Amino acid sequence: MIINIDKPIDWSSFDVVKKIRNITKHKKVGHGGTLDPFASGVLIIGTEIDTKTLTSISNSDKTYEAELELGRTTNTLDTEGSIVDEMQIPEIKSNILVSVLNSFLGSQKQQPPMYSAKKHKGTRLYKLARKNIEVDRKDVDININSIDLIDFNSKSIKFRVDCSKGTYVRVLGKDIAEKLGTVGYLTSLKRTKVGNYLVNDSISVESFQEKWISTEH
């Protein structure tokens, strides 16, 4: 079974997997691509034999809508962390902003953040980061297919990005802020698409549970 869940904010991807396992009593349950706890949106869950298709789903391109606050940044590059730097925000004009966003189009290398689930010698990076340990990370190849400005004001930017697997939108946000001459971190992130799966078709964990119980599995 493949389920398109709309992951709630403050849940880890594993929290959703655990909840679906409890609801369905299926032994094998997995997800097709991690979503940060502070983020919401499409999280594809697979159970039993359908867990085999999760790798190809995880490898799909993904679309996100993000809000980037300028002038301050956190150690996690999102709302989960502590403010570690503040900087003045230069005057932002839409033509400069669009030009900066467009500069990220195409193939490039990106360094994974310390606060991520990537492993270094078998240990998750975020576990090292919590102990204030920073290690060298290998850059990964990513591709930005499209990046569009949704809205902006003097302190924040909303943008939509369609990108390859392995892209950290938090790092992209940091890099956008730096190109604008300031610092920044993401205050919201919503994944609206994974491959052919859309957030408009996704279902909340509660609704899935109600449907599952009502069909008396």
Sign of CA dihedral 62, 57, 195, 144: positive
Structure tokens at 93: 């004009």
Helix, strand, or coil (residue 32)? coil
CA distances from 129 to 15, 34, 78, 81, 118 (A): 21, 18, 14, 11, 12
Active site residue ranges: 36
Strands (E), the chain: 2-7, 29-31, 40-47, 62-70, 72-74, 83-86, 106-110, 119-120, 123-124, 140-152, 156-163, 184-194, 197-198
Query: Is the separation of the CB atoms in 2 and 50 below 8 Å?
Result: yes
